[in-house]
Structure 1
Amino acid sequence: MSFRSITAAALAPIAAVAMVATPAPVEAAKPTIDLVEKHLASVRSMTADFTQTDRKGRSISGKLLMKRPGKVRFDYGRNADMLMVSEGNQLHFIDYEVGQKSSWDIQDTPMSVLLDQKPDLNRIARIVPSKNENVVIVRARDARRPEFGTLIFAFYRDNRAPGGLVLEGWTAIDAQNKRTVVRLDNQRYNVAVNDGRFAYRDPK
């Protein structure tokens, strides 16, 4: 089964709405955008397992590598014929089966929220009320670039994590209101990630 439509919808210039975790209870003050920015500023790198599911329930899993500023890799495994990767400036979706590469400036993609050197969310983001005080949901949408959609991340509180938050995942919504859910597990923060992991083979 091909998951190209899932990948392109989830990670190209689009939107996201988050999922909810159920962490252990902690003392939780009312969340603010500053709290999320503090977390992001504390994260130099992250690795995680991910599962990506489209609106038809089709799923694909892999490994996420992230290193700020600007570097990310969604690795679908050795046998995959596609790749989503940024070496620092541009986000590339590579389809090796057809020999094509699509690229966007990282600042024009939802991933810029996670990858900016100095995250500033106040202009484009707000906190969404959550029934669970240990879950922090952030909705981001750039009114000047509505074609990029709406991005909402879900974090859960964990005092052991950078800035007291762990990224749980997101859901992508494109201009046609199609949704793609990305869920993270086994998150590890501020671990060594070699820059060579963000290199890629050009499809041509």
Structure 2
Amino acid sequence: MTKRILYVFVAIALAVYAGAASAQQLSLNQISTYLNGLQTAQGGFTQINADGTLSTGQIYIKRPGRIRFEYNAPDDTMVLAGGGQLAVFDPRSNTGPERYPLRSTPLSIILRENVNLGAENMVTNVSFDGTSTTVTAQDPENPQYGNIQLVFTANPIELRQWIVTDDLGTQTTVILNDLVAGAAIRDVLFNIQAEMRRRGN
């Protein structure tokens, strides 16, 4: 566990160092344009869970409305968003995935077809630490669903991590690494029914 925590801090430090020389605060318009241009992306992630434990895996994004988290062994958990639903597959369950409307989760903010962080009451806070710009956003029509803090570096603009705070106040941090934009990603990766069949649910 100590080695895994050290890995997370080293990854953050490298990201900070890489952006330090050309750091600048990003505008909401620049960030919205970047997210709207991010049609597909894939890479690795490290997740810091609410209880302090760590998980790693691969992430696939296909906007609008689709995201996939594949967790590395020995964890066989998977989180899929597709068809307006977010499904959480727990290998310990034999009753199928837990499902939620995607619109009721903070992830819907970055997965919607048209991201407009300049919309009224969408952004509740913007900060700049000299290296990265952090934007806290919520669904202005449903602030009770929680919020998402998005961390970006500039030159070129890149999404580095996010922190999701759900409707219960629980926080989950996802640190992205080696995120590659423009990848060809098959639609079946976001098909909840196909994943259910694969798992025999």
Q: Which moved more, 1:102-111 or 1:36-45?
A: 102-111
* Aligned with 1:188 (options 180, 189, 198): 180
> Percent identity of the aligned residues?
23
Query: C-alpha separation between the residues in 1 aligned to 2:90 and 2:76?
Result: 6
Give how far 1:117 is off.
1.3
Larger relative CO (CA 8 A, sep 6+): 1 or 2? Answer: 1
How many equivalent residue pairs?
179
Counterpart for residue 9 of structure 2: none
Counterpart for residue 53 of structure 2: 58
Contact 1:46 1:66 in 2 (8 A): yes
Distance 1:74 1:57, change over 3 A: same
Q: Secondary structure at the match of 2:151?
A: strand
Distance 1:143 1:86, change over 3 A: closer
Is it true that 1:42 corresponds to 2:34 in the alignment? no
Query: C-alpha separation between the residues in 2 aligned to 1:79 and 1:59?
Result: 12
Q: Which moved more, 1:51-60 or 1:123-132?
A: 123-132
Amino acid at match of 2:98: S
Give how far 1:78 is off.
6.2
Give how far 1:114 is off.
1.8
Stretches of structure 2 that go unaligned for 5 or more consecutive residues are 1-11
Stretches of structure 1 that go unaligned for 5 or more consecutive residues are 1-18, 160-164
Give how far 1:73 is off.
0.3
Distance 1:117 1:174, change over 3 A: closer
Pairwise CA RMSD: 2.3
After the TM superposition, which parts of structure 1 deviate over 3 Å for at least 4 consecutive aligned residues?
A: 77-81, 174-178
**What is the correspondence of 1:35-184 to structure 2 with a 5 Å cutoff?**
35-77=30-72, 80-99=75-94, 100-121=96-117, 122-123=119-120, 124-132=122-130, 134-159=131-156, 165-184=157-176
TM-score (structure 1 length as normaliser):
0.77
Contact 1:31 1:127 in 2 (8 A): no
Query: C-alpha separation between the residues in 2 aligned to 1:89 and 1:48?
Result: 23
Query: C-alpha separation between the residues in 1 aligned to 2:124 and 2:166?
Result: 19
